[in-house]
Amino acid sequence: MRAFILSQPKSGTYLAANILRELGLEHRGLHLTPTPYYYEYDLNDPHCMDKDKFQTYKKRGKNFESNVKLIPNNSFGVGHIPMMIPFQKALDKFKRILITRPSHDVKDSASRFKEDYNRKINVQELLRERIAEWKPYCFHLTFEDMINGNVDKIDQLQVHLFNKVVTDSQKALDQALRSDSPTKSKIRQ
């Protein structure tokens, strides 16, 4: 089984990744884009998102359809991928998880990201809307579900991924929230 986190920018992509890791899936740091380019971050590098460093993790593949094949079994990738038929086909055999967050919270988070990492991030409303179009085709998890410890939702996520609950969702959430992640805001540290 392979999974993919489809997320709106600044909606909790790497918090969701921490949750999936706590549920037993592997993340090699693959952050795909709708272009041939992708990032393969060193998740142990606390500075991998810094303005002067994140581009060093950028790689060029053939296209999105080929790049998803880099995700091995029992693993997952992440990306801000708009809902379009070629991308849907490429992710057809993946367990898909959509991460969303209200627009005003995203703007606040993007401002903190700029301050914390000295990088501006694209939070175009059109892109957010195109990503949200995945909703009928994915398990939907919100930033609030994660940050507020919605254990029932994480139980449902496990059923989506594994057809059963395989681990204690409360423990997984607690550990995911405590864990570092490449884009964790300083207000959550």
Cα separation, 2 vs 159, in Å, equals 14
pLDDT at 51: 62
pLDDT at 85: 94
- pLDDT per residue, tens digit, the chain (189 aa), is 999 999 988 888 989 999 999 999 999 889 999 999 888 887 777 776 666 666 777 888 899 999 999 999 999 999 999 999 999 999 999 999 999 988 766 666 666 666 665 656 666 665 667 888 999 999 999 999 999 999 999 999 999 999 999 999 999 999 999 887 665 555 555
pLDDT at 43: 72
pLDDT at 171: 97
Hey, how many other C-beta atoms are within 10 angstroms of the C-beta on 113?
A: 19
Handedness of CA 169, 172, 177, 182 (dihedral sign): negative
pLDDT at 124: 63
